[in-house]
Structure 1
Amino acid sequence: MVGLIGKNIGMTSIFLKNGENVPCTLVQAGPCYIVQIKTIENDGYSSIQLGIDDQKIQKINKSLLNHFKKAGLSPKKKLLEFKVNKVSDFILGNLINIDFFKEGELVNVKGISKGKGFQGVIKRHNFSGVGERTHGQHNRLRAPGSIGAGSDPSRVFKGKKMAGRMGNKSVTIKNIKILKIDINHNIMILKGAVPGNKNSYLMIQKKEWN
């Protein structure tokens, strides 16, 4: 798999040729630069590290600054790795643009989902609550109910669906269709929604080209 780093611009909707109105997401895919090339001999696996968006030098430490200088590049805000089979096809410091994507093909999009904070079981796990307001239950409408027996096993099993932090996790959505591509502005229109907030970074992957 190989791909690009993208930035979530926002959602809109477009009309297809058949008149269907579909929701879609605008993504700025690239331009990305090859910051590092990892090989099996040196690192144990083969991959390329891509960087996007310039970062101020004042916000970069010396070790990371030298990392970019080896590639002859200015500091980048976001770095992501993409596994590849042949690292010989890539040159350190080169630009990878959106032009190797095609309209109509399917891609996998990975990102960090929106954080919802600490949530209860109804919002987090779609529980229905203990019961209605009758029979003396005045404060149990959104309660989780019993979480386990007291005597045996005398504990709560790991992984029990309970209240807790919701969202802010790595999420991958597979087989998202590319509706349109604007090569001049590095804009990609994807069908449906993708993980994350506006201006959040995304990993857009496709099958490795020949």
Structure 2
Amino acid sequence: MTGIIGKKLGMTQVYDDKGRLVPVTVIEAGPCPVLDVKTNDKDSYSALQIGFGSKRAKNVSKAVLGHLAKSNNQENPPALIKEIRLEADSDKEVGSVLTVEEFSDIAYVDVIGTTKGRGFQGVVKRWNFGGGRASHGGDWERKGGSIGMCNWPGRVFKGKKMPGHMGSVQRTSQGLKVIQVRPEENILMVKGAVPGFNGGVVVVKKAIKK
């Protein structure tokens, strides 16, 4: 099993086997049709191209519809198409479907998502700066302070922590424990939080460090 595309539904609490209350994130994972299979012999790398969701065929370009012909998904094209890299060639065939049942025997997963966007933020919120004093003529409670002297270094170092766009970047939550798998509902529950807002697209893979 390599990975599956899903949608973050939100967080809740469930009881584990020992009666302990566990905070979990509910993910609607799959079903994901296999649209194309990349192999080392043909493409110089191994990967599976899978889809998720659905959209109207009239809203899909002719190029994409032509690509979907070999997987027989032209009438019900997926809303999202992603390619998941593999270490070796897969035994999956074009037209087969990946479901959340693939995770029934997996204990830990990595979840890839896009963090919530926070817009343009200052250094206190973006980098957790302490700021200046609020008394005795400070007048710089939430400012970043000096960023580079005139004489030396005479420039601003690359990577300097400064105000700017915060959030809306890809992040991975690693080693999340699988609490429940509900194949009949396409539901996967993992312990803890995952990146992104409710309704955001995530990719679930088998944990690489567990």
Is 75-84 or 169-178 further displaced after alignment?
75-84
In structure 2, what is the equivalent of residue 143 of structure 1?
Answer: 143
Question: Runs ≥4 in structure 1, deviation > 4 angstroms?
Answer: none
Aligned with 2:58: secondary structure? Answer: helix
In the TM superposition, what is the alpha-carbon distance from 1:103 to its structure 2 partner? Answer: 6.2
1:193 paired with 2:193, answer yes
In structure 2, what is the equivalent of residue 93 of structure 1?
Answer: 95
In structure 2, what is the equivalent of residue 61 of structure 1?
Answer: 61
Is 103-112 or 10-19 further displaced after alignment?
10-19
1:102 paired with 2:104, answer yes
* Deviations, residues 65-110 of structure 1 (Å, cap 9, x unaligned): 1111122113111112222244351110111111121266000100
On the 8 A contact 2:8/2:198 being kept in 1, the answer is: yes
Q: 1:121 to 1:85 in 2, by over 3 A?
A: closer
Distance 2:96 2:106 in 1: 26
> Normalising by structure 2, what TM-score?
0.92
| Alignment size in residue pairs | 206
Q: How does 1:10-25 map to 2 (within 5 A)?
A: 10-25=10-25
Q: How does 1:4-43 map to 2 (within 5 A)?
A: 4-43=4-43
On the 8 A contact 1:103/1:180 being kept in 2, the answer is: no
Distance 1:207 1:152 in 2: 46
Q: How does 1:62-81 map to 2 (within 5 A)?
A: 62-73=62-73, 74-81=76-83
List gaps (5 residues or longer) in structure 2.
none
List gaps (5 residues or longer) in structure 1.
none
Give 2:120's match in structure 1, choosing from 112, 118, 123: 118
> Normalising by structure 1, what TM-score?
0.92
In structure 2, what is the equivalent of residue 183 of structure 1?
Answer: 183
Q: CA RMSD in A?
A: 1.7
Distance 1:104 1:84 in 2: 17
* Deviations, residues 141-187 of structure 1 (Å, cap 9, x unaligned): 00111112211111101100011111100001110001011111110
Q: 1:166 to 1:207 in 2, by over 3 A?
A: closer
On the 8 A contact 1:104/1:179 being kept in 2, the answer is: no
% same residue: 38
Aligned with 1:180: secondary structure? Answer: strand
On the 8 A contact 2:113/2:201 being kept in 1, the answer is: yes
